Amino acid sequence: MVSEEHPRYRSLTIRDKLVEGYEKGIVSTHGLIAHGRGEAFDYLLGEKTSDTALNATKVACAFLLTAKRPVVSVNGNTAALVAEEIAELHVITKIPVEINLFHRSRERIERIAHHLQSHGLENILTGLDFVELLNIASQRAKVDKRGIYQADTVLAPLEDGDRALALTQLGKIVLTVDLNPLSRTALTSTVTIVDELTRAMKNLITLAKYFKTTGRMNKLAMLKTSFDNRENLEASYKIMLERLQSLVS
Ligand code: PTJ
């Protein structure tokens, strides 16, 4: 157990969650490596949510709440880190949740489904009844017939570049959370939240609750049209560069 007094308590707690997920067969070995890459970028962000990221989260929330057929796509890392938040978002928005894996196996799908169920999530789309999308060269091509296949908007945190591109080519709105503003996923998605997943999901939930309960849904259309993903990415990149410069000067 890490002490709360430890200066890197939050970061170490997140690592603990991933390791636990790995030991339960939810997170892939590759997922641990992917997290390490994310951590390096988060270090440059100062391990906090920037205004730029919060703005992107607002816009992603606008797309999710105004979509006709939205879906949340969950992989191993996402299930391990934010199962509780995924379940809470589902309670607030009723958006279906689909398991979609890069390193796909029936066993991992079942373990992730069980993990999500243990956080209260029901009616999970497992992707076992799937359609194979032709423009994706990985196991991620297998999408649930009732989920991503029919969706107009997909929230896919920690996505890989191929699928982000393929989904946008199919005319879908792709919303992602990725700490690396230079990744192909970040560059090809409709909205990229450059923030750590656990922070981004908490903000997304707060915003979804706000828009749902205050009846400010009329603001959502404007949020969507005034957003430029490239500009937002450049702003995140600049925050990281400035922090690097301040560390070396
Ligand atoms: O569970 P599976 O089989 O579907 O596999 C999931 C992984 C994450 C292994 C797979 O999607 C993958 O290989 O992803 P990539 O291509 O490594 O991309 C992951 C991206 O997420 C990288 O750009 C990381 O910087 C970023 N990232 C990692 N951890 C976090 C993160 N972004 C936000 N929050 C994090 N905690």
Considering only 3-17, 22-36, 54-68, 89-103, which range has the smallest mean pLDDT? 3-17
Structural domain includes residue 234:
yes
Integer Cα distance of 177 and 186 in angstroms:
8
The closest-lying atom of ligand 1 relative to the alpha carbon of residue 31 is 9
> Is the pLDDT assigned to residue 178 strictly greater than 80?
yes
In a domain, 12, yes or no: no
Q: Using the predicted structure, report yes or no on whether residue 81 has a pLDDT greater than 80.
A: yes
Q: Name every protein residue with a CB atom under 6 angstroms from any ligand 1 atom.
A: 28, 30-31, 34-35, 37-38, 41, 75-77, 101-103, 158, 160, 177-180, 183, 196-197
Q: What percent of the chain has pLDDT over 90?
A: 85
Residue 2 CA, ligand 1 centroid: distance in Å = 24
Amino acid at 213: T
* Beta carbons of 129 and 150 less than 8 angstroms apart: no
98 bridge partner residues:
73, 125
CA distance 22 to 209: 31
Which pLDDT band, with edges at 50, 70 and 90, does 37 fall under?
A: very high
219 in a structural domain: yes
Domain for residue 30, yes or no?
no
Determine, yes or no, domain membership for 168.
yes
CA atoms within 13 A on the CB side of 217: 9
Residue nearest to atom 21 of ligand 1 (CA): 158
CATH of the domain at 129: 3.40.50.12640
The string of DSSP codes covering 130-160 is EEE-TT--SGGGEEETTTTTT-SEEE-TT--
Residue having the nearest C-alpha atom to atom 4 of ligand 1: 101
Given a contact cutoff of 8 angstroms between Cβ atoms, the answer to whether 138 and 112 are in contact is no
| pLDDT, tens digit (0-9, with 9 covering 90-100), for 111-152 | 999 999 999 999 999 999 999 998 888 999 999 999 999 999
Domain that holds residue 211: 51-248
Paired tokens of 120 = 């209260």
Question: How confident is the model at residue 1, as a pLDDT?
Answer: 66
- Ligand 1 atom with the smallest distance to the CA of 37 is 25
Quick one: pLDDT at residue 160? 86
Q: Across all residues in the chain, what is the average pLDDT?
A: 95
Confidence of residue 220 (pLDDT cuts 50, 70, 90): confident
Instruction: Specify if 76 maps to a domain.
Output: yes
Amino acid present at 102:
F
Distance (angstroms) between ligand 1 centre and the Cα of 183 equals 10
Going by C-beta distance under 8 Å and a sequence separation of 6 or more, which residues neighbour residue 138?
A: 102, 160, 162, 163
Return d(Cα 72, Cα 102) in angstroms, integer: 15
| 216 Cα to the center of ligand 1, angstroms | 33
Does 13 map to a domain? Answer: no
Span 42-61, average pLDDT: 96
- Report how many domains make up the chain: 1
Please answer whether residues 167 and 174 qualify as being in contact, where contact means their C-beta atoms are separated by less than 8 angstroms. yes
Nearest Cα neighbor of 150 from 178, 124, 130, 123 is 130
In a domain, 137, yes or no: yes
